[in-house]
Amino acid sequence: MSSQIPRTIGSFEVECELGRGGMGIVYLAVQPGLERRVVLKTVPREAAEDPRVAERFQREARAAAGVHHQNVVVVYDCFSFRGRPYIAQEYVDGQDLASVLRGVGRLEPRVAALVALELVRGLEEIHASGVVHRDLKPPNVLLGKAGEVKVADFGIALGSGKGPALTQTGQAVGTPRYMSPEQLYGERADPRSDLFSLGVVLYEMLAGRPPFEEEEDPEKGALLRRIESGRYPGLRSLSPATPRWLARLVQSCLRPKPRRRPASATALRCALEQRLGTSSPADARREIAAWLWQRGVFGEDDEATEARPLASRAGRRLRPRLLAAAAASLALAAAAWAWEHRAEIDVPLDRWLSDVARR
């Protein structure tokens, strides 16, 4: 272990450094008492000397900790160690969406829609908690090896009014090509701002590129004008396999005026569920995981290969046997039920059981 990486931070045992940048440092650690891996986030030492940074860090932790949902990264603790603030949060074994897209280019339309459905379920709970995320983008979307989809990083979230906001009105914060026009103008964001960002992310999953590209040396305000005017390449021209209904849904999220976007995350969730056949969270995770594993997103030699859902060779070999066993169990259960309720069945019992067996 490098001398620059601490062996312990508080009660956590550090395994390795996951990343480092101008705004933060991220470690992978273990919480011995609970035998679970966690991610520890902190700020560079020079930034930690600014009391505003520590306050902002704590408010980020509180904003995330106030949301309890399977599609949102869990925050376990916020503490100070040797003069630096830390956030301990859930470790998601997988990759962020940006890394996945760099590897595969784009997602199959149904898989992209399922990922969007899981994201909007997370956003629905975030908004219900009185928080606007304001920084939804592929690096802040985590995809786990079991198909989990998690919204991460509440660094610039807008709180529910309990104390001052993390950032003030008049400041344009975030990543410009994923930001709504109102955010770029520094106006106060609301939940529909997150739906705009979701539309950008979904467009990128389908097309392999975001709708609003930043040029190397852009004219000042050019990106804002494109976003505000709604000018971007037609989704189906870049991704002909995208169903028309899904292209229209993306278009509705990318409308410049907030009032013309879907009214809420709940409305968007309902629309996606209806089109996708009311895919349950468990079903969505299975489909997403299968697709990712089949395309080698998580590699073939990974130690978690044996546990991968649906895509494993063992799973494919066992599936016919499991289905046969399930069919047999169902037939036995049906027979038992039929015998108990034989007086209530309008058709002869032997014919009814025969029909069940054929099914």
What pLDDT, on the 0 to 100 scale, is given for residue 15? Answer: 95
Residue 334 confidence (pLDDT): 44
The pLDDT of 24-34, averaged and rounded, is 93
- pLDDT, residue 31, reads 94
> Is 269 among the domain residues?
yes
The reply to whether 231 falls in a domain is yes
Within a domain: residue 348? yes
Indicate whether 83 and 101 sit together in one domain: no
Q: Work out the pLDDT band at 123, boundaries 50, 70, 90.
A: very high
Q: Are residues 155 and 231 in the same domain?
A: yes
User: Residues 135, 158: one domain?
Assistant: yes
Distances (CA, A) of 332 to 17, 32, 62, 117, 338: 54, 47, 52, 37, 10
- Tokens for 263, please give them: 């009214």
Q: For the chain, what is the total number of helices (H) and then of strands (E)?
A: 13, 9
- The C-alpha atoms of residue 356 and residue 3 are separated, in whole angstroms, by 68
Higher pLDDT, 315 or 233: 233
Same domain, 164 and 64: no
Domain boundary among 90, 115, 136: 90
133 and 197: one domain?
yes
| Number of domains into which the chain is organized | 3
Q: Is 93 among the residues known to form the active site?
A: no
As a whole number, mean pLDDT of residues 73-100 equals 94
Same domain, 84 and 113: no
- Please indicate, yes or no, if residue 312 is contained in any of the structural domains: no
Q: Based on the fold, state whether residues 100 and 239 are members of the same structural domain.
A: yes
Closest-CA residue to 289 (of 69, 115, 54) = 115
| Residue range 196-224: mean pLDDT, rounded | 84
For residue 301, the tally of other CB atoms under 10 A from its CB is 6
pLDDT at 325: 46
Domain boundary among 43, 65, 90: 90
Tell me, yes or no, whether 335 lies in a domain.
yes
Q: What is the CATH number of the domain that holds 25?
A: 3.30.200.20
pLDDT bin (cut points 50, 70, 90) of residue 54 is: confident
Q: What is the side-by-side strand order in the sheet with 149-151?
A: 94-96, 141-144, 149-151
* Least trusted range by pLDDT, from 14-23, 68-77, 100-109: 14-23
For residues 118 and 243, state if they share a domain.
Answer: yes
Is the domain of 201 the same as that of 339?
no
Amino acid at 123: L
Q: Which of 96, 135, 153, 194 is catalytic?
A: 135
Query: Do residue 133 and residue 216 come from a single domain?
Result: yes
**Domain for residue 299, yes or no?**
no
Sign of CA dihedral 24, 27, 33, 37: positive
Domain boundary among 90, 121, 140: 90
Give residue-wise pLDDT tens across range 217-275: 455 578 888 888 888 999 999 999 999 999 999 999 999 999 999 999 999 999 999 99
The whole-chain average pLDDT of the chain stands at 82
Q: Check which CATH number belongs to the domain holding 170 and give it.
A: 1.10.510.10
Residues 160 and 216 grouped into a single domain = yes
Do 118 and 167 share a domain, yes or no?
Answer: yes
**In which domain, by residue range, is 128 found?**
94-294
